Amino acid sequence: MYRNHNLGELNKSNIGQKVELAGWVQKIRNLGAMKFLDLRDEFGITQIVCKDENLVKQADELVTETVIHVEGTVVERESKNPNLATGEIEVVAKKIEVLGKCKNVLPFEVNNENAQNVREDLRLEYRYLDLRNEGIHKNILLRSKILKSIRKYMDELDFTEIQTPILANSSPEGARDYLVPSRIHAGEFYALPQAPQQFKQLLMVSGFNKYYQIAPCFRDEDPRADRAPGEFYQLDFEMSFATQEDVFGVIETVIPKVFEEHTDWKVDQAPFIRIPYEEAMEKYGIDKPDLRNPLIIQDFTKAFEASEFQAFQGKTVKGIVVPNGAEQGRKFFDSMTDFAKEEAGAKGLAWAKVEEDGGLTGGISKFITEEMKQTMNLQPKDAIFLLADEKRTVQKMAGLVRIELGKRLDLLEKDVYRFCFIVDFPMYELSDEGTIDFNHNPFSMPQGGMEALETKDPLDILAYQYDLVCNGYEMASGAVRNHDPEIMVKAFEIAGYQEEDIKQRFGALYNAFQYGTPPHAGAAPGIDRMVMLISHSDNIREVIAFPKNKKARDLLMRAPSRVTEEQLKDVHIQIVEKEN
């Protein structure tokens, strides 16, 4: 009724044809007796020519972003545009019909190439206009294609797609729950699932061999540039009779194919590098290292044991040697020191340069002996950056300094996706209160099983937990699950839970495990983050159709918002205002 061609497909083979087109008026050019309209839809732009006097008058009344229907004839374009797929032709209009008038002044220019310079709150408030921007629009289309690819490759591996409930029960997944009050059951609440963790394990108990879904997950946590506040999507999958190796095999099969299908960058192939958690913290100062950065953190604690430099005495010393770093001026070293203090939380950043003749200059060079220089394997033109503190603290500080050095010195490998698995996470950690707590996923199988739980220091127990990391982003998290109820009880007991707590909070899973449970394992690659990486976006909100802002507010739909007293009464809730 409205169109027989889209606005990106007409070419010289269509010359002479009568066509019907529909789309948004992107640009209007007035040449006096003629008017030219750039008509846009999802597929491209076609130039419309208005020559008829009545059509020229009609075009005078049009404004950009008005939706129109055009009937006309395809002709060869005199002034061709090589930047357009339709740049060799134009359509001489015979009839124009307004389908949807743009009645208001646009809050910002819709197809501005610098749309990202528009205030983000304005873009989010008028997201339906923002989504007309070619770059953002393509991101959402890319997301759809990526989801199709994921489903294709998971189906090829004989996974079964199953949906799990959204209204569920509260479960400890490391963040606050979103609670949903029940109208029927006064005083009781559902919780939106932080992940389908218990449900997918129950599917394995139910005899399903391999499950997956594109799962929505809900976590009440602070937003970050690489994490959407409130809700996100993940490729959730689980397998019966599976080990860590089986899960890695699925990830190494599916993820490279998805990336290769939608990017021209180089993509790492199986097998991905495997890095134990402790090694990652030692070499990179972070459990999601960017392997495009060639810099490695080294431990120089022993080298400085006898040093007269008091700031390092009795502390763990970490250093980063930067080849050719001595070429940088004093301003660079001072700015890196400021970064270490302001962003990494360090008290200072020690440094020194190695000149071409091998001599040391600048910073703390006078405290570095020739023997120490050899121990640290410093070469001419090297620069060294040093930090000291308690072990875990200085690891993280050095990790942030390493990342910043890689950025400022432009050391990152270009146009490549570097993958690795981080393995052997600690099962437990010390909480801020000094008690034993789960480090990662509480449903994971401890390495060594019951024997490890009964004989080892809890802080020495490793778990069959793993993360997939890509270019410095955590891409997936997973584990071999604890399917033995006796081991589960003991594991939770170490973390301060009693068996009654398990029955109360995870009753379905605990009871199901009494009826014959296969060993099972799985993981959950993040969809939003995957699309962000493939689309080369710096902000995860650029790949989500209707994202929330940095304060977890939906500026378009104005959520969260107040509700009526009647609605509150229905769910047995009373709002108690805090006093100022």
Query: pLDDT of 116-171, one tens digit each?
Result: 688 999 999 999 999 999 999 999 999 999 999 999 999 999 999 999 999 998 76
Looking at domain 293-412, its CATH class is alpha beta
Residues 6 or more apart whose CB falls under 8 angstroms from that of 326 comprise 353, 354, 355, 380, 381, 382, 383
Angle value at C-alpha 311, between 307 and 315, nearest 5 degrees: 80
CB neighbour list of residue 434: distance below 8 Å, 6 or more residues apart: none
**Residue entry with tokens 């490793």:** 462
Give CA angle at 492 (488, 494), nearest 5°.
120
User: Taking the C-alpha atoms of 508, 510, 512 and 516 in order, what is their torsion angle to the nearest 10 degrees?
Assistant: 170
3-state secondary structure 440-509: CCCCECECCHHHHHHHCCHHHCEECEEEEEECCEEEEEEEEECCCHHHHHHHHHHCCCCHHHHHHHCHHH
Coil, strand or helix: which one is 405?
A: helix
12-100: CATH homologous superfamily?
Nucleic acid-binding proteins (2.40.50.140)
pLDDT in tens, 71-83: 999 999 999 999 9
Residue 71 pairs in a beta bridge with: 20, 95
CA 496/CA 441 separation, integer angstroms: 15
Amino acid in position 379: Q
Whether the per-residue pLDDT at 229 is higher than 90: the answer is: no
- pLDDT of 497 > 70? The answer is yes
Token pair of 104 as six digits: 């208001």
CATH class (in words) of the domain with range 121-269+518-580: alpha beta
Q: What is the pLDDT of residue 225?
A: 67
The 10s digit of each residue's pLDDT in 539-572 is 999 999 999 998 899 999 999 999 999 999 999 9
Domain locations along the chain: 12-100, 121-269+518-580, 293-412
* Residue whose pair of structure tokens reads 């620069």 in the numeric block: 383
Q: Report the amino acid identity of residue 433.
A: E
pTM for the predicted model, two decimal places: 0.93
Give the chain's mean pLDDT.
94
Taking the C-alpha atoms of 135, 545, 38 and 96 in order, what is their torsion angle to the nearest 10 degrees?
Answer: 170
* pLDDT value, residue 221: 83
Q: In whole angstroms, what is the distance from residue 273 CA to residue 560 CA?
A: 43
Helix axes 391-408, 277-284, angle to 10 degrees: 60
> How far apart, in Å, are the Cα atoms of 541 and each of 139, 235, 389, 548?
10, 19, 36, 8
293: exposed, middle or buried (Cβ count in 10 Å: 0-12, 13-18, 19+): buried
What H or E segment, with its residue span, contains residue 383? strand 383-389
Query: pLDDT per residue over 285-342, tens digit each?
Result: 999 999 999 999 999 999 998 888 988 989 999 999 999 999 999 999 999 999 999 9
Please give the pLDDT value at position 173: 59
Which residue reads 């009937």 in tokens? Answer: 71
Residue position matching structure tokens 């010289």: 12
Band (pLDDT 50/70/90 cuts) for residue 245 is very high
Rg of the chain (C-alpha set)? 30
Q: What is the pLDDT of residue 33?
A: 86
Distance CA 82, CA 88 (A): 8
Report the C-alpha dihedral over residues 414, 263, 215, 253, rounded to 10 degrees: -90
